[in-house]
């Protein structure tokens, strides 16, 4: 028995000893990728390395990511801006980005928070690979990611564990080391305009269901309230923006008005501005969208300019 | 609890330490530990399943004792039937109730009659077919006086619920496994090391081969109407490796685990895809089930002793029942019948025992005739697996029609082919290793035994492949049976 256990120990020893360094190698190289995990690494890197360098931050999900062009905002409002929209995620994950941003970067003056029907839904661990290089032994990531099904406790504690079966991530990490040229940045300060034309997503959704009813997740709503309160206390101005959604897509949501009223109530409670573009004329033109809830580059540029004009009109928002 | 889960990775070392270091002085205590561990292992899925297995254990334990005391032949037979009815009754209710109800309704409607009965929302307890057959083997063998009835309830409970083979076999015979619970187990280094090797290869088969092939097999079978002929052929091939990797992988892990605890389970797979005819295939595939049916069904029916018609009848019965054992669906019945059709010509021409030894024994490559026989047998098996995997008979027929269409020679097309090349290379690696190890108990048992550095490097390579290429975790296919 002693011989057996000793041999197992000797066999496993190199794996245990090398585990951390292999993990470090994979994570360090993986986070260099501008393309893997739906191009989220440059944004995470900028947040965690304190390189946001922006007075205006854009928060939200994919609608934030593709609707708000920080370059136009910078030119118009004369303040550096960065788009922190996180594709496919609801407020819980947006709040994690907010916390890490404040922890590692100077406090922003203004947050333009793109809210939508999904903001206060429960959500799931979409595009989980975006967290891989950052989550080992990190308490904040653990606190927020462990709310979802996907990673286990040991994924946060044992080196390499979370890379189990992640061939694409490991391959990308090696590629970053040996052929880094296939890594052109796609997002500019977090934003990526979508040069796309209308697709069939809405028709497919209609085939599956006739109406979609949104339910606020209570813990998410409480967290959202807490976030607005914290921003108020820290004197960070917040503008809640309900961006344009294609009109036929809006008709698909059974209780959109109720959702909008809910956000209006949040804004009123903390005396923040709420800009609702759900009945804007942009919503009527299919040419500005590539699906019911996402604008293409042309639409996004028009919308961002419109938004900036509106913000400039507001006398109570001081960015200087 | 799944073998390929973190839960099992924690569970196994704890049970191992308790087994060899804490309870090793007392046999009953050690067997009790096995029972507790097995119940924990099984209850991990759903604790409600425990009541069923407990009932089976209690019924067959007392039936065994009563059979041991009873000398009247008619009463002995009655006791045996009580055990059979109780065990098969449970199995029939949980596994086949809805199948029979649905088919009765369909049959009555054919004759213009309305038969009113509703299907039930029944959860099939994991592994019920396996432990039911295992416990039945005990009562039948006690009835046949091949084994003494046990008075040791703990040993009997450990025999029925033994966690390594509880949910997907091998289906053990009481004559082999039960006596192992009566005697003190001693730790043997070579046995335990061999067990670990077999486990490692089993994990590779399951996690790398089966789970990656499953991705493609599912993609193709679930969208077969949109696929061209060549892609459908690949889909059937991927399923062929999926089911082998999945099921034989489970058996390897089960046998390896039991060896860590000092037990010997029967062999369940013997490189079946290197068979030269279907009879050889069935001597090498799911051996514990095939031999179970042989001993408890085929031979009592008269086996091949009678005339030609009896041989044909018995062959069809055993294959169809075997198919039906796999699931309550006509696809399994047709799969069984198709194998009977493959098998019959060999039986009737007395060629069913032609290939008793391993193919190309002592040689690196097979002869041309052997190779062609293997290819033909493999092809027949792949064709039969289409019925096994299809959702319904209609699905199977449309799948086969799709293969034999003008698109058979077009380029295969996949929705997501990113893992295609790695998967094909891994399957090729798998076939090579299986071929090299085909004369051993498991493929890597005697591989590179003379050079420790090469051997350990190979084990590290297997671990690395498991780590990198672990497919998205799928439940073992045979759990549903």
- The CA distance from B218 to A318, in Å, is 57
Per CB-CB distance under 8 Å, the chain B contacts of A15 are: 460, 463
- Whether A170 contacts chain B with CB within 8 A: yes
Do A1 and B187 make contact, defined as CB atoms within 8 angstroms?
yes
Please give the residue of chain B at the shortest CA–CA distance from A152: B6
In Å, what is the CA distance from B237 to each residue of B83, B246, B407, B424? 41, 14, 17, 11
Distance of alpha carbon B432 from alpha carbon B430, whole angstroms: 5
3-state secondary structure of B71: coil
CB spacing of A15 vs B463 below 8 angstroms: yes
Q: Is the pLDDT of residue B479 over 60?
A: no
Contact map slice: B 184-223 vs A, CB within 8 A: 187, 189, 192-193, 196, 207
Residue B336: which of B350, B351, B316 has the closest Cα? B316
**Gap between the Cα atoms of B179 and B341, Å rounded:** 39
Q: Cβ(B139)–Cβ(B67) under 8 Å?
A: yes
Number of other CB atoms surrounding residue A8 within 10 Å = 14
Q: Which of B101, B92, B106 is nearest to B136 (CA)?
A: B92
- How many angstroms away from the CA of A309 is the closest CA of chain B? 44
What pLDDT digit, counting tens, does each position of B239-271 carry? 999 999 999 999 999 999 999 999 999 999 999
Beta bridge partners of residue B90, listed in sequence order: none
Q: Could you tell me the two tokens for A102?
A: 């404040």
What pLDDT does B169 receive? 78
In tens, the pLDDT along A293-302 reads 899 999 999 9
A4 at interface of B, judged by CB pairs closer than 8 A: yes
| Res B124 pLDDT > 80 | no
A10 and chain B in contact, CB less than 8 A: no
Q: Which sequence spans correspond to the domains of chain A?
A: 40-121+185-313
Q: Which residues in chain B have Cβ-Cβ distances shorter than 8 Å to A36?
A: none
Tens digit of each residue's pLDDT (9 = 90 or more) over B94-108: 777 777 777 777 777
Q: What is the pLDDT of residues A233-280, one digit of tens each?
A: 999 999 999 999 999 888 888 888 999 999 999 999 999 999 999 999
Query: Smallest CA–CA separation between B442 and chain A, in Å?
Result: 20
Nearest residue in B to A5, CA atom: B189
pLDDT value of position B180: 96
CB contact under 8 A, B467 and A4: no
Pick the CATH number of A40-121+185-313 from 3.90.800.10, 3.60.20.10, 3.40.50.1110, 2.130.10.10: 3.40.50.1110
Nearest Cα of chain B lies from the Cα of A118 at a distance, in angstroms, of 28
pLDDT at B164 over 90: yes
C-beta atoms of A170 and B468 within 8 A: yes
For residue A3, which residues of chain B lie inside 8 Å, CB to CB? Answer: 189
CA distance A240 to A114: 6
pLDDT score at B474? 59
Sign of CA pseudo-dihedral B38, B42, B47, B49 = negative
**Cβ separation A4–B189 shorter than 8 A:** yes
Query: Are B192 and A154 a contacting pair at CB < 8 A?
Result: no
Which ipTM value was assigned to this complex?
0.80
Chains A–B, number of C-beta pairs less than 8 Å apart: 35
Q: What is the pLDDT of residue B139?
A: 95
The sheet that has A273-276: what strands, in order across it?
A81-83, A56-59, A110-114, A237-242, A273-276
pLDDT class for B477, splitting at 50, 70, 90?
low
Whether residue B1 contacts residue B473, with contact meaning beta carbons closer than 8 Å, is answered with: no
Q: Would you say residue B199 has pLDDT above 80?
A: yes
SS (H, E, C) chain A: CHHHHHHHHHHHHHHHHHHHHHHHHHHHHHCCCCCHHHHCHHHHHHHHCCCCCCCEEEECCHHHHHHCCHHHHHHHHCCCEEECCCCCCCHHHHHHHHHHHHHHCCCCCEEEEECCCCCCCCCCCCCHHHHCCCCCCCHHHHHHHCCCCCCCHHHHHCCCHHHCCCHHHHHHHHHHHHCCCCCCCCCECCECCCCCCCCCHHHHHHHHCCCECCCCCHHHHHHHHHHHHHHHHCCCEEEEEECCCCHHHHHHECCHHHHHHHHHHHHHHCCCEEEECCCCHHHHCHHHEEECCEECHHHHHHHHHHHHHHHHHCCCCCCC
Give A111's strand partners.
A57, A238
Contacts of B471 in chain A (CB under 8 A): 165
CA atoms within a 13 Å half-sphere pointing along the CA-CB vector of B355: 22
Q: What pLDDT sits at residue A183?
A: 79
Residue B17 has pLDDT above 60, yes or no: yes
The mean pLDDT value for B33-53 works out to 92
Residue B142 has a pLDDT of 95
With 70 as the cut, is the pLDDT of residue B475 above it?
no
Cis peptide leading into B99, omega within 30 of 0?
A: no
Rounded distance, CA B190 to CA A173, Å?
A: 40
User: Above 60 in pLDDT, residue B480?
Assistant: no
* pLDDT interval class at B478 (50, 70, 90): low
- Sign for the CA dihedral angle at A98, A99, A102, A104 comes to negative
Q: Predicted confidence band at A29 (pLDDT cuts at 50, 70, 90)? A: very high
How far does the CA of residue A252 sit from the closest CA of chain B (Å)? 28
Q: At what angle do helices B73-91 and B49-69 cross, to 10 degrees?
A: 170
Q: Does the structure show a pLDDT above 80 at B304? A: no
Q: Are B447 and B455 in contact (CB under 8 A)?
A: yes
The answer to whether residue B355 is catalytic is: no
Instruction: List, as ranges, residues 318-337 from B with C-beta within 8 Å of A.
Output: none
Name the percent of chain A lying above pLDDT 70. 98
* Short-list B194, B154, B176, B178, CA closest to B34: B154
Is residue A149 less than 8 Å (CB to CB) from chain B? no
Q: For chain B, what is the mean pLDDT?
A: 91
Contact criterion met (CB < 8 Å) for B187 and A168: no
Q: Are A91 and A2 in contact (CB under 8 A)?
A: no
Q: How far is B120 from chain A (nearest CA, A)?
A: 27
Q: What is the DSSP string of B183-222?
A: S-----HHHHHHHHHHHHHHHIIIIIIIHHHHHHHHHHHH
Distance between CA atoms of residues B445 and B452, nearest Å:
13
Please list every residue in chain A whose beta carbon sits closer than 8 Å to the beta carbon of residue B18.
none
CB contact (8 A) between residue B468 and residue A160: no
Q: Give chain A's mean pLDDT.
A: 92
Contact check, Cβ <8 Å, B422/A167:
yes
CB A214 within 8 A of CB A121: yes
Question: What are the φ and ψ backbone dihedral angles of B272, each rounded to 5 degrees?
Answer: -65, -30
Q: Is B452 helix (H, G, I), strand (E, B) or coil?
A: helix
Q: What pLDDT shows up at residue B126? A: 80
Interchain contact B419–A (C-beta under 8 A):
yes
Residue B329 has a pLDDT of: 87
Identity of the residue in A4, A15, A154 whose CB atom sits nearest the CB atom of B193:
A4
Residue B455: closest CA among chain A residues belongs to which residue? A11
Burial annotation B420-459 (CB, 10 A radius, 16+ → b, else e) = bebbbebbebbeebbbebbebebbbeebeeeeeeeeeebb
Residues of B in contact with A4 (CB under 8 A): 187, 189, 192-193
Q: Is residue B10 less than 8 Å (CB to CB) from chain A?
A: no
| Cβ contacts of B459 on chain A, cutoff 8 Å | 11
Tokens of B312: 């044909």
Per-residue confidence (pLDDT) for residue A207, from 0 to 100: 77
Backbone angles phi, psi at A239, to 5 degrees: -115, 120
The pLDDT tens digits of the residues spanning A169-228 come to 999 999 998 887 777 888 899 999 999 888 888 778 777 777 778 888 999 999 999 999
């Amino acid at each position: 028995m002693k011989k057996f256990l000793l041999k197992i120990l000797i066999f496993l020893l190199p794996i245990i000893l090398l585990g951390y360094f292999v993990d470090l190698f994979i994570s360090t190289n993986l986070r260099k990728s501008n393309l893997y995990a739906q191009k989220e690494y440059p944004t995470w890197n900028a947040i965690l390395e304190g390189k946001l360098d922006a007075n205006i931050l854009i928060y939200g999900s994919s609608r934030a990511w593709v609707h708000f062009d920080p370059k136009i905002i910078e030119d118009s409002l004369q303040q550096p801006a960065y788009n922190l929209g996180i594709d496919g995620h609801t407020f819980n994950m947006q709040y994690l980005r907010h916390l890490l941003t404040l922890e590692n970067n100077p406090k922003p003056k203004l947050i333009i928070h793109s809210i939508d029907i999904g903001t206060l839904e429960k959500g799931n661990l979409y595009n989980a690979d975006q967290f891989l290089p950052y989550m080992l032994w990190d308490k904040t990531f653990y606190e927020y990611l462990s709310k979802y099904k996907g990673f286990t406790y040991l994924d946060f504690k044992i080196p390499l564990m979370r890379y189990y079966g992640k061939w694409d991530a490991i391959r990308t990490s090696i590629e970053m080391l040996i052929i880094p040229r296939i890594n052109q940045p796609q997002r500019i300060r977090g934003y990526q305009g979508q040069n796309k034309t209308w697709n069939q997503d809405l028709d497919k959704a209609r085939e599956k269901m006739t109406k979609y009813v949104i339910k606020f997740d209570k813990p998410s709503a409480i967290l959202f309230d807490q976030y607005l309160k914290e921003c108020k206390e820290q004197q960070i101005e917040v503008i809640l923006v309900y961006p344009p959604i294609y009109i036929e897509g809006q008709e698909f949501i059974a209780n959109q008005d109720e959702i909008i009223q809910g956000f209006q109530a949040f804004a009123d409670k903390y005396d923040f501005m709420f800009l609702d573009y759900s009945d804007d004329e942009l919503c009527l033109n299919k040419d500005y969208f590539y699906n019911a809830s996402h604008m293409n580059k042309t639409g996004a540029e028009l919308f961002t300019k419109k938004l900036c004009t509106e913000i400039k009109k507001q006398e109570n928002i001081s960015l200087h | 609890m799944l073998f390929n889960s973190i839960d099992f990775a924690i569970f196994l070392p704890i049970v191992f330490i308790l087994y060899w270091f804490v309870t090793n002085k007392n046999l009953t205590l050690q067997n009790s530990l096995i029972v507790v561990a097995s119940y924990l292992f099984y209850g991990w899925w759903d604790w409600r399943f425990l009541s069923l297995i407990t009932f089976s254990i209690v019924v067959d334990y007392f039936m065994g004792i009563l059979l041991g005391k009873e000398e009247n032949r008619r009463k002995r037979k009655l006791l045996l039937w009580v055990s059979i009815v109780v065990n098969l009754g449970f199995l029939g209710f949980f596994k086949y109730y809805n199948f029979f109800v649905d088919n009765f309704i369909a049959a009555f409607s054919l004759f213009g009659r309305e038969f009113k009965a509703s299907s039930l929302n029944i959860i099939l307890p994991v592994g019920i077919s396996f432990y039911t057959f295992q416990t039945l083997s005990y009562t039948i063998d006690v009835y046949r006086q091949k084994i003494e009835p046990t008075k040791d309830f703990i040993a009997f409970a450990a025999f029925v619920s033994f966690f390594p083979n509880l949910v997907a076999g091998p289906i053990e015979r009481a004559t082999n496994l039960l006596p192992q619970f009566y005697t003190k187990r001693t730790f043997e280094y070579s046995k335990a090391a061999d067990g670990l090797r077999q486990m490692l290869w089993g994990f590779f088969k399951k996690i790398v081969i089966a789970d990656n092939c499953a991705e493609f097999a599912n993609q193709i079978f679930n969208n077969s109407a949109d696929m061209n002929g060549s892609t459908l052929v690949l889909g059937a091939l991927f399923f062929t490796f999926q089911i082998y990797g999945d099921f034989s992988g489970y058996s390897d892990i089960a046998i390896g685990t039991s060896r860590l605890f000092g037990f010997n389970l029967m062999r369940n797979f013997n490189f079946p895809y290197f068979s030269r005819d279907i009879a050889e295939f069935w001597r090498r595939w799911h051996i514990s089930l095939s031999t179970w049916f042989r001993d408890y069904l085929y031979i009592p029916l008269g086996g091949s002793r009678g005339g030609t018609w009896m041989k044909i009848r018995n062959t069809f019965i055993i294959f169809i029942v075997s198919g039906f054992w796999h699931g309550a669906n006509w696809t399994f019945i047709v799969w069984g019948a198709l194998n009977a059709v493959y098998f019959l010509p060999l039986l009737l021409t007395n060629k069913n025992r032609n290939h008793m030894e391993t193919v190309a024994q002592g040689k690196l490559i097979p002869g041309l005739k052997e190779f062609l026989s293997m290819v033909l047998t493999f092809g027949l098996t792949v064709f039969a697996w289409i019925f096994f995997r299809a959702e319904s008979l209609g699905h199977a027929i449309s799948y086969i029609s799709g293969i034999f269409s003008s698109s058979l020679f077009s380029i295969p097309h996949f929705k997501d082919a990113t893992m295609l090349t790695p998967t094909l290379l891994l399957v090729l690696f798998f076939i090579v290793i299986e071929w090299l190890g085909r004369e051993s108990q498991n493929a890597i048992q005697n591989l590179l035994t003379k050079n420790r550095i090469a051997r350990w490097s190979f084990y590290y390579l297997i671990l690395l492949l498991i780590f990198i290429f672990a497919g998205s975790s799928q439940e073992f296919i045979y759990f549903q049976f």
